[in-house]
Amino acid sequence: MSSPYILVVDDEPDIRQLVKEILEDEGYRVATAEDGGSARKALRERRPDLMLLDIWMPDIDGISLLKEWNETELPCPVIIMSGHGTVETAVEATRLGAYDFLEKPLSLAKLLLTVEHALEADTLQRENLGLRQRAQAVVDPVGRSQVMQRLREQIKRIAKHDTWVLITGEPGSGRETLARYLHNQSPRAKRPFVEVGVSAIARSNAALELFGSEENGQIHYGRLEQAQGGTLFLDEVADMDLEVQAQLVGALNTESFLRVGGTEPVSVDVRIIAATSRNLAEQVKAERFREDLFYHLNVVPLDVPPLRDHPEDVPELLNYYVDTFVAQDKLMYRRFDIGAQNFLRNYPWPGNVRELKNLVQRLLIMGGDEEITLDEVQAAIGGGASPAAGGPGSAVSFDQPLRQAREQFEKAYLEYQLDKHSGNVSKMAQEVGMERTHLYRKLRSLGIEIKDRR
């Protein structure tokens, strides 16, 4: 794991050396360049996390360099330095994207504080962008079940070692959440976490997206360089093109790669976490996935259980997402009543945690009374779910009016609960969350005999 990498560009050797020593004493890694040409060369060799850029240099001034880089995208936060600066120069630098402006002679305290704030601001900006893109995914895995407790402990142990990890699990089971949790528990936690949704990238653009490009002096930094010193998360890695897989294997073996159109190798220091819902071993046998890449990724396998394997976590997940959407989207607070919670604990969740999250959001958006009832949940789900995988309600037809489907499901659900409790209505009422008198009335209305179950 590497500390932030800073490029110092200044034509005065004494200042370059002084700033380099100061920053290295603070634990940063520092490279220097004496003019615009060497700064361009340094950027081709490696993307810095921060740049300190002098304005007056022999070949090109810092403002012109900012304009040049700003035509595409600034490679990193830039702090301008000048001994002959004016207010106009500072304003122009800020307009072109510079983070701040420092006057020479440099104040040691102000230099270090500005560098620290610029790095923090860049990290926060990336995190905020990531949060918007993934609609505020859970940072830590929610759940107090033994399954989730063991999983969290396993991740904490893995996080200490800088090994690669392959996360497997069904779609919607929370693979990205666990990848972020692993990153946050690791020594790389303060460095970038960069996600690549492999299935969402066009095959023709995959190499460009991962490795970046060089063309006519313009550099596009790919996801590998953006994750430098941190973690690269490859989601649905089985969808990666075979040619790009070969390039990735080469980068892993040599710890360097070539950008598309580039001629100089770029060193890379990242931890790879890959995720898939497919069986990669079978993909290898079918020659759809490279065997050498599979063994690279499968150093430490981590399997995410489906939600149906830890249903006791459902109430906590419901509460978590209610609180999240109330705070995030300013929706009206509503709570799930006992009957709704018990029903959802026994629901098979084919879409896993993602389905639960979407259900909560839908119920809050639709609004209603403060309590979310069993009837409302059944209507939202569509009346087509079985209370337990393989249970008696597993064959409810969707091709009928909602009222009839709901009645059919309720009958199957209550028959299942009655059999489960051997006809004991008191125990059954407690689990389904209904008052006994109301439950007796509901059983009679559905034509369910109690005496046959005892």
pLDDT, one tens digit per residue, over 270-304 is 999 999 999 999 999 999 999 999 999 988 899 99
Please, which pLDDT band fits residue 127 given cuts at 50, 70 and 90?
A: low
Task: State the pLDDT at residue 135.
Answer: 39
Please, which pLDDT band fits residue 405 given cuts at 50, 70 and 90?
A: low
Average pLDDT of every residue of the chain: 85
CA-nearest of 74, 35, 86, 88 to 58 is 35
Task: State the pLDDT at residue 403.
Answer: 64
pLDDT per residue as tens digits for the range 128-175:
554 444 434 446 799 999 999 999 999 999 999 998 999 999 999 999
Q: What is the rounded CA–CA span in Å between residue 361 and residue 370?
A: 15
What stretch of H or E contains 33?
strand 29-33
| Ramachandran assignment for 382, one of left (phi > 0), alpha (psi -120 to 50 degrees), beta (any other) | left
Task: State the pLDDT at residue 137.
Answer: 45
Please, which pLDDT band fits residue 415 given cuts at 50, 70 and 90?
A: confident
What percent of the chain is modeled with pLDDT above 70?
90
What is the residue extent of each domain of the chain? 5-132, 147-305, 309-453
- Determine the residue type at 272: I
Neighbours of 239 (CB within 10 A): 19
Query: To the nearest 10°, the Cα dihedral for 159, 160, 163, 166?
Result: -20
Task: State the pLDDT at residue 393.
Answer: 38
Mean per-residue pLDDT, 406-425: 77
Residue 204 has pLDDT above 80, yes or no: no
What percent of the chain is modeled with pLDDT above 90?
49
Please, which pLDDT band fits residue 17 given cuts at 50, 70 and 90?
A: very high
Task: State the pLDDT at residue 429.
Answer: 82
User: For the structural domain made of 309-453, what CATH number should be given?
Assistant: 1.10.8.60
CA-nearest of 108, 8, 100 to 57 is 8
Mean per-residue pLDDT, 333-346: 94
* Under 8 Å between Cβ of 51 and 96: no
Q: What is the rounded CA–CA span in Å between residue 127 and residue 135?
A: 12
- End-to-end Cα separation, the chain, in angstroms: 64
Architecture of domain 5-132: 3-Layer(aba) Sandwich (3.40)
User: For the structural domain made of 147-305, what CATH number should be given?
Assistant: 3.40.50.300
| Ramachandran assignment for 229, one of left (phi > 0), alpha (psi -120 to 50 degrees), beta (any other) | left
Q: Is-same-fold flag (5-132; 147-305)? A: yes
Pairs from 405-408 (Cβ < 8 Å, separation ≥ 24): 406/375, 406/378, 406/379, 407/446, 408/383
Q: What is the rounded CA–CA span in Å between residue 148 and residue 326?
A: 25
* Under 8 Å between Cβ of 349 and 171: no
